[in-house]
Amino acid sequence: MAHKIDAEKCVACGCCKDACPVEAISEGEKYTIDSSKCVDCGACAANCPNEAISPE
């Protein structure tokens, strides 16, 4: 199961994108996770300073 970014908490700092080993996170005004690429490793959630990422 993929992780999801809470757009209200995301500040687009890039910590999650830098931590993702499979490049499943896309930049934008708020970041998004491509569920077809996400391997559910949790690296993004562990590196998010705003606790904006959780399992779906």
> Can you give the pLDDT at residue 1?
75
- Domain total of the chain: 1
* Domain limits for position 7: 3-55
> Can you give the pLDDT at residue 28?
87
Beta 3-5 vs 53-55: how paired, if at all?
A: antiparallel
> Can you give the pLDDT at residue 49?
97
CATH number of the domain encompassing residue 18: 3.30.70.20
> pLDDT tens per residue, the chain (56 residues)?
789 999 999 999 999 999 999 999 999 889 999 999 999 999 999 999 999 999 98
Model-wide pTM > 0.75: yes
CA distances from 18 to 13, 22, 26, 35, 56 (A): 10, 10, 11, 17, 21
Q: Which of these, 37, 30, 49, 50, lies nearest to 3 by C-alpha position? A: 37
> Can you give the pLDDT at residue 56?
81
